[in-house]
Amino acid sequence: MTGTIRRSGADVICDFDFLDVATGEILWNRNILVAEAAATMALPERLADVLQAIGRSVAQTTLRNLRGLTLPEIADHELLIAGVASMHRRALRDFLTARQYLEESAARAPRSTDVHAWLGKWHILNVFKGYSTDRGSDTQRALDCTARALDLDPDSSFALTIDGFAHANILGEIDEADRRYTAALDRNPNESLSWLLRGALLAFQDDGTGAVQATDTARRLSPIDPFGYYFDSLASSAHLAAGNFDRALDFAERSLSANDRHISTLRTKIAAQHCLGDGDGARATAAELMRRFPTFRLNEYRSTHPSAERRTGRLVIEALRASGIS
């Protein structure tokens, strides 16, 4: 990133060029104009847009550059970027490709804690999103990855967080997950993902107030996270648990506008619409969920979701049933 700051009358103008250092190509440019008297107040919010554009460009440019390349031709750092970026994209084919990138990255960097933790997260999402065809084996793969990450660095707040995610979301071991998140935050109080997942855990336990506080903290710590749809999704769940159905719906719709293949967000949206008395909207969202996830069944949700026996889980089940899902 290069640029200049200049005055123009009573205004300040910031010009930015974002370049690919390997080729010298200017990928994009931006300019920001603010009143000089208000610059210190106005610039941070405007700069957040620039930083978001940088994050998206790094991911998109990396993925674009990999087209037509075989795995051995891809640089180490590009493998991890591509794996993480692809894992959080809408299309199922991108999610499946992410595994190839992350497994190759782990093979090349077998002592990288973060790589093993990211691969563990892929396996967790594979199970939790309902993509897995062998839940038992894929659950074990997730645990093997997080165990490997923690063997390499027992104090890694990121690895502790992902291990907590596995215990909460696919094993249903709420107390063990809470211990992992607590340990992660003891080591790094600014670990936004740990705050976010702890918020989800509190929502599972029907502590709506605590869930909202935790997800709000996560959003403050990572206000321009490139995976913002996931932050919005869990914020939606937190507000559902707190009974803030309007806010739950707002966050769910915002999340789905960025990633419409996230099944838990669709479930939360159905529940919020049902609680707000929008039966037609809930049925339309339920039809969309079944179109995207035709194998989803209420019995599976009851038997596998950590909150199924709690108040919020029962609310979701009631909403799904009323919306036509069996």
Report residue 34: phi and psi, to 5°.
-140, 155
> In this predicted structure, what is the pLDDT of residue 100?
95
Identify the pLDDT of residue 161: 97
Q: Given this model, what pLDDT does residue 266 score?
A: 96
Q: Using one digit for the tens of pLDDT, what is the confidence trace for 19-44?
A: 988 888 888 899 899 999 888 888 88
**Interval 157-171: pLDDT, tens:** 999 999 999 999 899
The backbone torsions φ and ψ at residue 3, rounded to the nearest 5 degrees and listed phi first, read 175, 180
289 sits in the region (left: phi over 0; alpha: psi -120 to 50; else beta) called: alpha
User: Do 222 and 241 meet the contact criterion of CB atoms below 8 Å apart?
Assistant: no
Phi-psi region for residue 83, left (φ > 0), alpha (ψ -120 to 50) or beta? alpha
Bridge partner residues of 13 (DSSP): 6, 33
- Residues in the chain where the model's pLDDT stays below 50: none
The 10s digit of each residue's pLDDT in 81-129 is 999 989 988 788 999 999 999 999 999 999 999 999 999 999 999 998 8
DSSP string, 266-284: HHHHHHHHHHTT-HHHHHH
- Look at the alpha carbons of 284, 285, 289, 291 in this order and tell me if their dihedral is positive or negative: positive
Which of 191, 225, 217 is CA-nearest to residue 48? 225
Q: Exposed/middle/buried for 57, CB within 10 Å: 0-12, 13-18, 19+?
A: middle
Residue 4, strand partner residues: 15
